[in-house]
Structures are given as structure tokens and as C-alpha cells.
Amino acid sequence: MSQNKKFKRKATVKVLEERCKGCWYCVNYCPTKVLQVSEKMNSKGYHPPVFKENIDENVVCIGCHLCELYCPDFAIVVEELE
């Protein structure tokens, strides 16, 4: 399996859930599709994205920060792993 590994996980994503308005730019523009719409709802009724952790070793965050750049609501913080 490990020979098939395409990406190395570089970062993690913190979502400031109360700021999210559910536009899904982050989910759509994540190149490795590591974000998904969550089931949970914030106090305004929007479903913030959730970071998929360790679902598949090829589905990893590469720390490109695109989700952060596209978020119109300043709801995402990408933090590099040390």
C-alpha cells in the first residue's frame, strides 16, 4: 500500500464554524478532496466543512491553503504540521 501513497500529509485545517456560511468553495477547490460537508449545523443553520482525518492514506491535506484563499468568510485556518 505504502508504495501507492501519492501525497504526504502536510497540514491540518481548523474551521471557525460560527463564521461559515456553507458556500462550499473550500470543499470544491481542495485539490485532494480532504474536506467534506459536515452533518452538524452552526447557530445560523449552515453546515460547516469538516476535515477528513486518516480516512485513506491518499486523501491527505497537502497544505496548499487554497481553501483558506477561497473562503469569503475567514472561516478557515490551515496549520502546517511540524
Partner 1 sequence: MSQMTDMRKTEEEWLRTERLPHVWCPGCGIGIVLNAFLRAVIRRNIPKEKMVVVSGIGCTGRTAGYVNVDSFHTTHGRAIPFAVGVKFARPDLNVVVFSGDGDLFAIGGNHFVNAARRNHDLLIIAVNNFTYGMTGGQHGPTTPTGAYTTTTPYGNPDRPFNIPHLAISLGAPYVARWTTYHVNQLQNSIYKALNMKGFRVIEIISQCPTVYGRRNSMRSPMSMMEYFQKNSVINNKASYEEMELTYKGKIVVGEFRNVGGIPSYEERYEEIIRRAQE
Residues making contact with partner 1 (CB under 8 A): 18-19, 21-25, 28, 44, 46, 63, 65-66, 68-74, 77-80
Which of 15, 25, 6, 7 has the alpha carbon at shortest distance from 63? 7
Q: How far is the CB of 26 from ligand SF4 (least distance, A)?
A: 3
3-state secondary structure of 70: helix
Asked if 50 touches ligand SF4 (CB under 6 A), the answer is: no
Q: How far is the CB of 3 from partner 1 (least distance, A)?
A: 28
Give the integer Cα–Cα distance in Å for 24 and 57. Answer: 23
Asked if 42 touches ligand SF4 (CB under 6 A), the answer is: no
Q: How far is the CB of 82 from ligand SF4 (least distance, A)?
A: 16
Comparison of 11 and 59: residue with beta carbon closer to partner 1? 11
Give the integer Cα–Cα distance in Å for 55 and 49. Answer: 15
The gap from C-alpha 65 to its chain's centroid, in whole angstroms, comes to 9
